[in-house]
């Protein structure tokens, strides 16, 4: 079960935020870990900003991401609880087998997709 732990900053701020990207499967032909994260982080943060009446992040380059760790599809040692999302500023979880994804910001569900 692959996962990516990361930190991110917004603009020129020196504040680090924590994030985790947790999915059932990550293809060997992905676009790079940075892009995999950015594809969920950017819309997730903007949805949070819409909900809280904050200005949108207009450009993806405003967000800076630093990868802390990652695991492979075969790594079963990184089992996590269903409540760990509360420990991260940003948390993305995808359940590929039933086509569901959830995005949490500050421990609150921001986006839910079931297709």
Strands (E), the chain: 3-10, 17-22, 63-70, 90-95, 100-105, 108-114
- CA 80/CA 88 separation, integer angstroms: 13
Query: What does the alpha-carbon distance between residue 2 and residue 28 come to, in Å, rounded to a whole number?
Result: 11
For the chain, the structural domain boundaries read 3-114
Model pLDDT for residues 26-35, shown as the tens digit of each residue: 766 667 888 8
Q: Do 91 and 85 touch, CB atoms closer than 8 A?
A: yes
What is the per-residue pLDDT across 33-65, written as a single tens digit (0 to 9) for each? 888 899 999 999 999 999 999 999 999 999 999
Quote the CA–CA distance of 41 and 110 in Å, as a whole number: 11
For residue 16, pLDDT over 80 is answered with: yes
């Amino acid at each position: 079960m692959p996962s990516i732990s990361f930190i991110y900053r917004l603009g020129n701020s020196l504040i680090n935020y924590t994030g985790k990207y947790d999915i059932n499967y990550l293809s060997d032909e992905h676009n790079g870990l940075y892009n995999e994260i950015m594809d969920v982080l950017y819309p997730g943060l903007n949805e949070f900003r819409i909900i809280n009446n904050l200005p949108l992040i207009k450009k993806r380059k405003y967000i800076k991401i630093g990868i802390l760790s990652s695991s492979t599809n075969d790594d079963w040692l990184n089992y996590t609880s269903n409540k760990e999302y509360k420990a991260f500023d940003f948390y993305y979880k995808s359940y590929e087998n039933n086509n569901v994804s959830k995005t949490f910001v500050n421990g609150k569900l921001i986006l839910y997709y079931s297709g």
